[in-house]
Amino acid sequence: MRVLVIGSAGSGKSTFGRKLGAALGARHTELDAVNWRPGWVDLSKTDPDEFVRLVEAIVVADAWVIDGNYNVVRPTILRRATHLIWLDYERSVIMPRVIRRSFQRAVDQRELWPGTGNRENFRNWLKKDHPIRWAWDTFDRRRAGYEEMFGDPRLQRLSLHRLRHPREAQPLIERLASEDVAA
């Protein structure tokens, strides 16, 4: 099984992806960990060809779970994917999550992606590209884009799953794990 997990910032893509990867016995990759370089250098913008190359090396595997929303690598991932999961939760679910996550990260100062030195900082909370603002500002646009993507006839070869509430996540993980075992 090769699964791409998408959704708004704060929807729980990485948590879902980690759990699904563990249930399937498949490698889990968080695209943010591949993209972000030390000093908050955004590979998708500074060297998109390198970002694509790194993702291509991941998707050649027989089984994987990847989470993230990067347009520049989405075609590369979808070419090999068997499943597409959209965590389409309401803003009222996502915003408390992203605020809680940002607060915890700013307090504990843990490195977000090993080797980057990148940490959350309260001073950045009001910046346009901070995850809290990003989640709020991009919510409607992302939802409309994913809605369109799910209707794309070229993606109908994939097993498409649109989760509307977090309580749907664990049952889907269990179902996909049992299907994978049966396959």
Q: Is 163 helix (H, G, I), strand (E, B) or coil?
A: strand
Kindly state the average pLDDT of the residues 96-121: 90
Q: Considering Cα of 33, then 42, then 135, then 152, what sign does the dihedral take?
A: negative
Q: What is the phi-psi region of residue 25: left when phi exceeds 0, alpha when psi lies from -120 to 50, beta otherwise?
A: left
Kindly state the average pLDDT of the residues 37-62: 96
What tokens does 20 get?
């699904």
Task: Give the β-pairing of 36-37 and 41-42.
Answer: antiparallel
- Residue 28 has phi, psi (to 5 degrees) of -105, 135
Q: Is 20 helix (H, G, I), strand (E, B) or coil?
A: helix
pLDDT value, residue 119 = 87
- Per the CATH hierarchy, to which homologous superfamily does domain 2-182 belong? P-loop containing nucleotide triphosphate hydrolases (3.40.50.300)
Q: Is 42 helix (H, G, I), strand (E, B) or coil?
A: strand
pLDDT of 117-176, one tens digit each?
888 888 888 788 888 988 999 999 999 999 999 999 999 999 999 999 999 999 999 999
Mean pLDDT of the chain: 94
What tokens does 46 get?
């500074």
pTM: 0.94
All structural domains of the chain with their residue ranges? 2-182
